[in-house]
Amino acid sequence: MRLLVLADSLAFHGPAGPLPANDPRLWPNLAAAELGGRAELAAGFGWTAREAWWALTGDPRVWAELADADVLVLAVGSMDTLPSPLPTYLRQGLRYLRPEGLRRAARRGYVAAQPWLARALGGRPVALPPRLTVHHLDESLRAVRALRPGLPVVGIVPSVHRAPAYAGVHTGHAEAVRAVRTWAAEADVPLLDLPTLVGPHLRAGQGNPDGMHWGWSAHRKVATELVDLIRKNLPDLSVSDLT
């Protein structure tokens, strides 16, 4: 059993920070181990459905893994819902500012202003509007089904947060959840319900201090539910694949 997981930092970030993709405590690896296989992770900080689409269509390492995958997990969409006071191209462009002192000052200023702007603008705009999240998820699905018609695909319901960096604002979440659920129902893609699984964990302060990423108990819970979802909704997989 080989899981190919396209994801954001929720897949490789633990209670104390980011980790190598092969850390056995991360939910993709826990799920793959329970299924008797391994996970291949393509992910990045802040990845939205758009970055997953770019990886799927532009990264030859992902192409290689896609050819041998038994299940594709599209674990993106959560970061799409976050407040993004600056347009993405400007926010991401801060890293290219020179000289170094200017870059650091601009970055500090943006980090300091972000919570205030998230409140002042009511959480709008979001990093990626729901219609574009669904567009990129659907394009990814169409591409995969053209190349690997029988490959099972699993998605996620966008996760929640209580991050001070965004002043706890998450007004774009509900609309994104509705859009993703509607798309998944029409596309016949089973969804892993992240808000139900990790919401209480985050609200209880049991995750990373950043209020967004998870502790190990949440990683285990997500992994267990992913395995159950695969077993219940992907009956075309052989019994030997699931042991």
Q: In this structure, what CATH number is given to the domain that contains residue 29?
A: 3.40.50.1110
Is residue 174 assigned to a domain?
Answer: yes
User: What is the tally of structural domains in the chain?
Assistant: 1
Average pLDDT over residues 160-166: 96
pLDDT at residue 240, as a whole number = 44
pLDDT at residue 236, as a whole number = 60
Half-sphere exposure of 194 (CA within 13 A, CB side): 27
Is residue 109 assigned to a domain?
Answer: no
Q: What is the CA radius of gyration of the chain?
A: 18
Q: Which residues contact 72 (CB under 8 A, 6 or more apart)?
A: 3, 4, 5, 6, 66, 144, 151, 152, 153, 154
Q: Which residues contact 164 (CB under 8 A, 6 or more apart)?
A: 115, 210, 211
Is residue 102 assigned to a domain?
Answer: no
Question: What's the pLDDT band for 210 if we cut at 50, 70, 90?
Answer: very high
Is residue 173 assigned to a domain?
Answer: yes
- Looking at residue 184, its amino acid is A
Q: Is the pLDDT at 242 greater than 60, yes or no?
A: no
Is residue 22 assigned to a domain?
Answer: yes
Is residue 17 assigned to a domain?
Answer: yes
Question: What's the pLDDT band for 243 if we cut at 50, 70, 90?
Answer: very low
Q: Is the pLDDT at 123 greater than 60, yes or no?
A: yes
Omega before 99 within 30 of 0, i.e. cis = yes
Q: Is the pLDDT at 127 greater than 60, yes or no?
A: yes
Report the range of poorest mean pLDDT among 33-37, 143-147, 236-240. Answer: 236-240
Closest-CA residue to 16 (of 218, 213, 233): 213
Is residue 66 assigned to a domain?
Answer: yes
Distance CA 190, CA 23 (A): 26
Domain range for 68: 2-83+122-242
Two tokens, residue 204: 């209880």
pLDDT at residue 238, as a whole number = 46
Is residue 113 assigned to a domain?
Answer: no
